Structure 1
Amino acid sequence: MNQIVEEDDQDSVTIAIDNDGVPDAMSEDDEVESSYSFDFFAKNDLIKLHESSDEYSIVRTGFFSGIEENSRKKIKILAIHKTFNSSFSAKVKAKNFQILAKAVARKCCGDANIKYAWYSASKVEICEILKHGFSWYIKTAENQYCYRTSIYLFAAKFSSDSVLGSKVDETGVRHLLLCRVILGKQELVTGNCNDRFHPSSPEFDSGVDDLSAPRKYIIWSTYMNSHILPCYIISFGAPYEACIA
């Protein structure tokens, strides 16, 4: 199956190919040629992947594999960008992620439990994350700011959940972050966890909604800028009904 494969020994994040003949989720005829400008991503240390590249194909297929067939037909990918890690701060962040992964692996009997996961955000928030990292404050629907205690990401195979939480920009385009996440040892988290900003004990590194088949990953605010490494941004057009199907 075409899938995202972890490669830990590189300063920049890449994906490798494991082919066993799974077809693409959409045909090339379904791709959208758009005049949409992605200058705001180019200014934030991102490179646009070519549609013929292996990375583009794998990220695209992984995205659609988590979405029901009826909704796939309504979603049009406009672009996939990759973090380039050319700036000093980006290189340091990528290197620190590798060092931390090795430390968590030693703590967890050799397995840091690194997974790919989707994060739903607005274009503005994504650009802020790329520049400065995840913010300790979030804006509510009432345009008020409140303290963030945790970050929710969706497992790679549940991209449909991230689409549901995606936000349209001023031109009607939606964007999602595909990140690598150090999960380490997970604890079950149920109900409202707004009063917690760290694991229940040093034994744990992250939270999940289901220990046997997690759909949602919970990274506490104390770990959000060390345990999460943004890798790709997928930009797409989708009508409202495709996001709630």
Structure 2
Amino acid sequence: MEEQDDPVSMTVEDFEGGEAILEDSSGSETDDQLAHFAGLLKIGEETREYDGVKNTFLTGMKGHAKDTQVVAIYKNSASTSPMKARFAAFKAFEQVVSQKNGGQGNANVKYGWYSGSKEDISQIISHGFALCNGQSHGLGVYLSPTSFLLDGLEYSRADENDMRHILLCKVIMGKMEVIPAGSKQRYPRSGEFDSGVDNLEAPRRLVVWTTFMNSHILPDYIISFKAPSSTTLLINRINEIRNLGFVSVSALHLTMVKFLGPARGALISRIYEDFAKRKVNVVQLFHAARRITGDDQLLIEIFKSSTNKPVRRELRRTCAAQAAAELRRR
């Protein structure tokens, strides 16, 4: 499957209709279908459905595809009563959102990636979503469009067999609104909107508010795979961003103070001072910033905002004074 020009344009029909990239897997059940995730069917590797999902996943892995091994693909077969209920709820809300937005398929159903540990994904399959996993553009459940799988993969965790797992979900997006970076929004701004994105033209984050997380998101497939560690993936992503233009540590420090606010900004300033005094190196500075930020997506956003920006002396003094005042209060 070729990568889409519009990263959010892949709809349910791209998988289930058209050229029939994916087919019904009712006949692909195997003896070890429940080896990892109860209630799911393991798709046979000889099927077109397996090839379609695998190719979509590896396309999203981009340059890491050659180092990635797909171990197994599981499909949500709605085989248990709770699964059937969530499937029915998804279809009902799809119809409601479609009618609200004028009918004729205006529920705007997309595919999105959601990563986590094996335990996280098992709990989601068994009980549904329980917590928001992002805060860089409002507080909600974040999924990545199919072409931007790497944006969310930093949240994956290897299990006891060194395997990672990611969900491919159907998502009712409806009418989307732009959520600015740093927003603390928790609900749609008005009844006109159904979901949020970081950018309408080329979204990299699909934001589903927690109110809708178990009615507007339907886990469809689980891909179990082996790949480079999440830390390696994140560092590679940040290096890609840095290659777009020069990022000075000073500019990065100022942007982080601006994004994170006084409390966390003071912590960043403290580690930056240690760096300036050569008490810590750039790798230690990076890991400290990652811990303080607590959100890899937000850290990437900060890197982007720091690219090619000159450091103004008066702004540096202002931020330093604010950080010092916060430290005195602590």
Name the TM tier (shorter chain): 0.7 to 0.9
Deviation at 1:197, TM superposition (A): 2.3
Amino acid at match of 1:152: Y
2:177 aligned residue? 187
Alignment of 1:1-245 (within 5 A): 1=1, 6=12, 15-16=16-17, 18=19, 39-41=35-37, 44-69=38-63, 71-110=64-103, 111-136=106-131, 149-193=139-183, 195-240=184-229, 243-244=233-234, 245=236
Q: What TM-score, normalized by structure 2, do the two folds share?
A: 0.59
Q: Are the equivalent residues in 1 in contact too, given 2:74–2:222 (CA < 8 A)?
A: yes
Amino acid at match of 2:146: A
Distance 1:96 1:154, change over 3 A: same
Aligned length: 211
Deviation at 1:163, TM superposition (A): 2.6
- Superposed CA deviations along residues 79-100 of structure 1, whole A, max 9, x for unmatched, are 0100110111211211121111
Distance 1:242 1:64, change over 3 A: farther
Give the ranges of 4+ consecutive aligned residues of structure 1 lying more than 3 Å apart after TM superposition.
1-5, 14-17
Unmatched segments (≥5 aa) in structure 1: 8-13, 21-35, 139-147
Distance 1:19 1:45, change over 3 A: closer
Distance 1:125 1:39, change over 3 A: same
Distance across 2 between alignment mates of 1:76 and 1:173? 9
- Superposed CA deviations along residues 104-159 of structure 1, whole A, max 9, x for unmatched, are 01111221100000001111010111111111477xxxxxxxxx941110001112
- Superposed CA deviations along residues 37-66 of structure 1, whole A, max 9, x for unmatched, are 96231xx21011111111111111111112
Note the aligned Cα RMSD (angstroms).
2.5
Distance 1:126 1:229, change over 3 A: same
**Farther off after superposition, 96-105 or 223-232:** 96-105
Determine helix, strand or coil for the equivalent of 1:175: strand
Amino acid at match of 2:35: D
Amino acid at match of 1:187: E
Identity over the aligned pairs, expressed in percent? 38
Determine helix, strand or coil for the equivalent of 1:119: strand
Distance across 1 between alignment mates of 2:205 and 2:76? 23
The higher-RCO structure (CA 8 Å, 6+ apart) is 1
Amino acid at match of 1:204: F
Q: Are the equivalent residues in 2 in contact too, given 1:180–1:229 (CA < 8 A)?
A: yes
Amino acid at match of 2:93: L
Q: Are the equivalent residues in 1 in contact too, given 2:60–2:148 (CA < 8 A)?
A: yes
Q: What TM-score, normalized by structure 1, do the two folds share?
A: 0.78
Deviation at 1:178, TM superposition (A): 0.4
Amino acid at match of 1:54: R
Deviation at 1:68, TM superposition (A): 2.1
Structure with a larger share of its residues in strand: 1
Structure with a larger share of its residues in helix: 2
